[in-house]
Homo-oligomer: A and B are copies of this chain.
Amino acid sequence: MAGSSQSLTRSPRPDNRRELLLDAAARLFSDEGFHAASMRDIAKAAGMLSGSIYYHFESKEELLLAIYEEGARRLAEAVENAIARETDPWARLEAACAAHLGGLIAHRDYARVMIQTPPDAGGSVESRIRDLRRRYEARFRALIEALPAPGDIDRRYLRMLLFGALNWSPVWFRPERDSPETVAKQFIAMLRRSLN
């Protein structure tokens, strides 16, 4: 009785400490890089001491992995929702690009961690991160495969051109200047013509 009433009155927020920590880490990882951001700084930004992080995460690398997972989940969800509304292959690709770019604004820190983290970083969680990356990119790969009529253009280089541009966008994208839809429309417009 006492126990149940206690569990009802206490802690109005279930596990928001983990989220807080994730947000703080995402910001520091994306701003300063994985190695330059210290557990102390992350803890301080989340309002706790560095040792306390280890109640929520086993290690710094697991923290990175969790951010990567969360970032991939959010971006994938946005892309999924966007392409579900379109049927034309080019429209689907453009919607995916717009959703990806939109995700960079909405989830800036998580997205930048995803993109900046080199494929060989992360030590013990390296393979799991590579998996997430591959799975996320697979969506775009499929969307490009679904395009009609390659013509004399190698589909692979088309993919690399688009991938590169999307992944590099955090460097130059400014929400106050660029809109995800406009950028996506322009990118697709340039490439679309090359396949007709």
Contacts and interface: CB of A to CB of B under 8 A. Distances in A.
A129 B183 CA distance: 28
Looking at A33, A152, A190, A194, the one whose CB has the most chain B CB atoms below 10 A away is A190
Interface SS of chain A: helix
A194 B152 CA distance: 15
Given A165-B160, A165-B165, A167-B168, A153 B121 contact: no
State how many copies of this chain the complex holds: 4
Interface string A102-146: 000000000000001011110000000000000000000000000
Contacts of A35: 33, 35-36
Interface of A: 31-36, 116, 118-121, 152-154, 157-158, 160-161, 163-169, 171-172, 183, 186-187, 189-191, 193-194
B187 A161 contact: yes
A8 to B, nearest CB: 29
